């Protein structure tokens, strides 16, 4: 039953609740990873992953299989859910628990480790400033470790377009990252002078 194709499971899910359960188990980790790297904390990742699958379940009876992978459909829902979340959270500033924990670790850990962690956070912050489709590309490439052909299928583009988008994404990320690093150094200098 675990080897059943997505198309067969989707057709069966309209009449059999267990079929949707199998689809869920197949994709929950991927969707969770995608949302985690878009939001930056586990609490929101859990909440938005649940919302994504509830929405997929609600619309599964109207799902039309046009040959695109089911994951593309889920990523699209996840993308919309995250976009709504960003819109809502931009109105009210929240400090996530993960940030607080990381902050504590930064202060408690050895200096080199803390610096490394800080730089990683800065890079992820810069990645989160990129347009959504570029973030998706980085997540599919580095977290999901997909091949370009698979990414092209999920994102509805050609393989060549994906390679080109990847190049442009890296160039933009390099600039954003450098900007953030400069800002960070400015803050540090300001603190040490003051």
Partner 1 sequence: MDEERASEVLATYVDGLVNHTGAVHQVDMTDEEHARLTRLFRLTERLQQSMRPVQPSADFVRGLGKDLVDRARRRIRLTKRLRRAALIGAATLGSLLSIASVVGAIVFLVTRLRARAQARAIRAPTG
The DSSP 8-state label assigned to residue 172 in this structure reads: H
Residue closer to partner 1 by CB (options 18, 189) is: 18
Angle at 39 between CA 185 and CA 34, to 5 degrees: 120
Contact set for partner 1, span 56-85 (CB under 8 A): 57, 61
CA distance 68 to 70: 6
118 binds partner 1 (CB under 8 A): no
* CB-count burial class (<10 Å; 0-12, 13-18, 19+) for 18: exposed
Task: For the beta carbon of residue 178, count every other beta carbon within 10 angstroms.
Answer: 11
Site string for partner 1, 19-58 (x = CB under 8 A): -xx--xx--xx--xx--xx----x--xx--xx--xx--x-
Residues in contact with partner 1 by the rule CB under 8 A? 13-18, 20-21, 24-25, 28-29, 32-33, 36-37, 42, 45-46, 49-50, 53-54, 57, 61, 119-120, 123-124, 127, 138-139, 141-145, 147-148, 160, 162-164, 166-167, 170-171, 173-174, 177
């Amino acid at each position: 039953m675990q080897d059943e194709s997505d198309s067969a499971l989707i057709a069966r899910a309209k009449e059999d609740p267990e079929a949707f359960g199998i689809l869920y188990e197949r994709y929950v980790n991927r969707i969770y990873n995608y949302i985690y790297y878009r939001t930056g904390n586990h609490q929101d990742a859990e909440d938005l992953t649940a919302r994504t699958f509830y929405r997929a379940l609600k619309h599964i009876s109207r799902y039309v299989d046009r040959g695109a992978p089911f994951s593309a459909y889920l990523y699209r829902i996840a993308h919309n859910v995250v976009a709504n979340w960003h819109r809502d959270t931009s109105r009210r500033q929240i400090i996530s628990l993960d940030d607080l924990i990381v902050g504590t670790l930064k202060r408690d850990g050895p200096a080199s480790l803390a610096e490394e962690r800080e730089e990683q956070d800065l890079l992820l912050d810069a990645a989160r400033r990129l347009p959504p489709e570029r973030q998706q590309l980085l997540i599919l490439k580095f977290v999901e470790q997909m091949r370009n052909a698979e990414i092209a299928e999920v994102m509805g583009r050609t393989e060549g377009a994906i390679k080109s988008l990847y190049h442009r994404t890296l160039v933009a990320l390099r600039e954003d990252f450098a900007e953030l690093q400069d800002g960070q150094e400015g803050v540090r200098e300001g603190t040490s002078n003051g």
